[in-house]
Amino acid sequence: MDKSERLTIVKKAGFVSLSRLINLLGLLLTTIMLARYLSKPEFASYDQLWLIYNTFSPVLSFAFTSSVYFFGTRENAGKYITAMLLFLTLAGFILTFSLFLLRFEIAKFLNNPQFYNEFFKFAPFFLFSLPSLILDAILVLKNEFKKLFTITNFTVLAYVGVVVLTIILEQGIPFIFAGLSLISLLRFIYTWYLIKKFFNEKLETIFPYLKEILLYTSPLTLGHISALISRQVDKYIIANNFSSDLYATYTIGAKELPIIPLITSSFASVIFPEISKLHGAGKNSEIQRLIKDVVKSTSLIIIPIFSFLMFFSQEFILILFSKKYLDSTAIFRIYLFFLPVRILVYSSILSALGKQKIYMLISFLDLVLNLTLGTTLVKAIGLLGPAIAVVVSTYVEAFAMLFFISKALGGASLIKMLPVKFMISIFAFSLSASFLCYLMGSLIENAILRFILMGGLFSTFYLLVAVKLHKQI
């Protein structure tokens, strides 16, 4: 893989990142508008319907988009991907029908009687959304990045349009989900159309492939469930040991910056099929170079953010959440240590190498370690304990995955896979520039002005150096 091809991967990841950012901002905008328009009980019903959807969709999305990338590089890729869509369509129907049967019990559990009636408006959206979870992955697999960007824009504009119409016409939740159901139906039809266009497989020929798909996705599903639980364990420990006021203090600080996983997962989406293809051809040295180039690209973004916010955590918390939550600063600083380890999506690389069972086992061990450390440290050092535990367990998980990635690539050393000198140079400059900005910022009394001016100064310093560093990629 030559330099021009590696740069193309960076551009592709940029398209995916931008698409996901637009989607994130669109959902945020619709939430803000509806929070202002709907009454609290109505907004609670709306949000709880999304809660049900978001309970299932991340797990299915991770498992089946990984499957699209893994099986999509094979000669009979069309049969695998058609089988996936058929399975997700069936799964969507079964889950929707199950929720329909359990709607009274769910309404009781959520302490929301309206859920029983509102579910009928939500059901079509749920039914058609699950199968189209693989739409973006198919477009990435086929290098249709501009089309992905266009479809994302259309979907977000349609979502926002539905909410705006709801407010203008003074409608309620039924109108909202009628509009969202129409959008999800169109995405569902378009997903079927794309698969027909790209692969044109007959349904009766794809059933034998379902078993292999489920054998691949089952460990991914279980591993991802374990990972999702592990990321929330610290909050449950805090809730069990402290007052609601201290829980609020903790949960405000215990946040990862959403832009970081958005960027790294975009790179993972682009390189997954490349790694799967190269591994199948036995080109492990090419995979090592690809991983190294991706880490260089993500490090250029993640390390300076980590360095600057480490010195300006208090100002960041103050601006976003007010001085009421200044006590959350220490928790936020601990959570910042997630950033250096987020330079790579290790689970995607393991999955691309066909090591999904190892991912599942490491995720289980991460959960056990996190829970054990969290319950021990909360007694020893209090509020900071669970935050330290979740960060430590994440580093152990990351290094364990790196070890098995190295092993799968023929015992490649970490030095060959990771651009250690490059990362050290970024760390050295970022920390030095951040410290200099911190000293200069101490002369500015207003916290908001200090954060803005020093952020601008740091960005200027860093961009001048980053241009030269980028040439090394």
| CB of 374 closer than 8 Å to CB of 390 | yes
Residue 7 confidence class, pLDDT cut points 50, 70, 90: very low
> Is the pLDDT at 201 greater than 70, yes or no?
no
d(CA 389, CA 392): 5
> 313 and 210 in one domain?
no
Residue 445 lies in a domain: yes
> 264 and 189 in one domain?
no
> 203 and 82 in one domain?
yes
Residue 223 lies in a domain: no
Enter the tokens of residue 202. Answer: 């007959």
Residue 446 lies in a domain: yes
Name the domain boundary from 193, 218, 243: 218
> 246 and 168 in one domain?
no
Percent of the chain with pLDDT over 70: 95
Q: What is the pLDDT of residues 206-229, one digit of tens each?
A: 777 888 899 999 999 999 999 988
Residue 458 lies in a domain: yes
> 282 and 182 in one domain?
no
Residue 224 lies in a domain: no
d(CA 388, CA 253): 12
pLDDT confidence of residue 330: 94
- Can you tell me the mean pLDDT for 412-421? 82
Residue 226 lies in a domain: no
> Is the pLDDT at 16 greater than 90, yes or no?
no
> 453 and 389 in one domain?
yes
> 209 and 275 in one domain?
no
Name the domain boundary from 162, 193, 218: 218
Q: How many residues does the chain have?
A: 473
Name the domain boundary from 218, 242, 271: 218
Residue 113 lies in a domain: yes
> 183 and 35 in one domain?
yes
pLDDT confidence of residue 6: 47
Q: 396 lies in which domain range?
A: 232-470
> 236 and 211 in one domain?
no
> 145 and 31 in one domain?
yes
> 346 and 301 in one domain?
yes
Q: Total structural domains in the chain?
A: 2
Q: What is the pLDDT of residues 144-190, one digit of tens each?
A: 888 998 999 999 999 999 999 999 998 888 898 899 999 999 999 99
Q: Which residue has the higher pLDDT, 169 or 27?
A: 169
Lowest mean pLDDT among 183-187, 278-282, 375-379, 434-438: 278-282
pLDDT confidence of residue 376: 96
> 323 and 346 in one domain?
yes
Residue 225 lies in a domain: no
